Chain A
Amino acid sequence: QKEVEQDPGPLSVPEGAIVSLNCTYSNSAFQYFMWYRQYSRKGPELLMYTYSSGNKEDGRFTAQVDKSSKYISLFIRDSQPSDSATYLCARYMDTGRRALTFGSGTRLQVQP
């Protein structure tokens, strides 16, 4: 089982819809999660990060961690065509390792 599992999509929604992107993880040892966004032909860029459980909000984006179900989510409100990209969840596996472990990414298409 991969450490971080993510539905690859593609996910297609109309402009203005609320989008929910989800990841599950298998190892509960350390919980620091990040969401990266990757546009076509570009490298990933950090969108949000969250530590432990609960919600974190930044504009139209909300990151949520549910420790009990080992589930992390990214919600996008009022989605825009410019949100069309691949979204990657990632986590640090432990405090000592400086590299992130990534999910496989979910491709999102927001239709105008």
Chain B
Amino acid sequence: DVKVTQSSRYLVKRTGEKVFLECVQDMDHENMFWYRQDPGLGLRLIYFSYDVKMKEKGDIPEGYSVSREKKERFSLILESASTNQTSMYLCASSGLTGVNSPLHFGNGTRLTVT
């Protein structure tokens, strides 16, 4: 089974802090994704990566950056955390390109910015 592991289940940070959310997958998947999930808004794509050192903006990239130095690891960075970034963050990976590649999700990191 694919395993996508997010390093923290819960995280509390202060406004203005730099925050790192880490995600590791163990199935040699090419594609990795960061979504945030908010009530009433569903999952919204922040960034994704289809190869090491490659990244593409999703629908809501403002205030975020990402890093993919190794194939199995994809990091989401909040350069200066703000209260409107309080959310559930979900990492996902997929192995193939195109439509035959379901996303496999981690269990999420609930981030609170105070």
Contact = CB atoms under 8 A, between A and B. Distances in A.
Interface of A: 6, 8, 32, 34, 41-46, 49, 51, 88, 92, 95, 98-105
A92 B42 contact: no
Q: What band does the interface of chain B fall in when counting residues whose beta carbon is under 8 Å from A?
A: 20 to 34
Contacts of B90: 43-44
Interface of B: 4, 31, 33, 35, 40-45, 48, 50, 58, 90, 92, 94, 97-99, 101-108
B48 A44 contact: no
Given A43-B4, A100-B103, A105 B42 contact: yes
Contacts of A95: 98-99
Given A43-B90, A43-B107, A44-B90, A88 B42 contact: yes
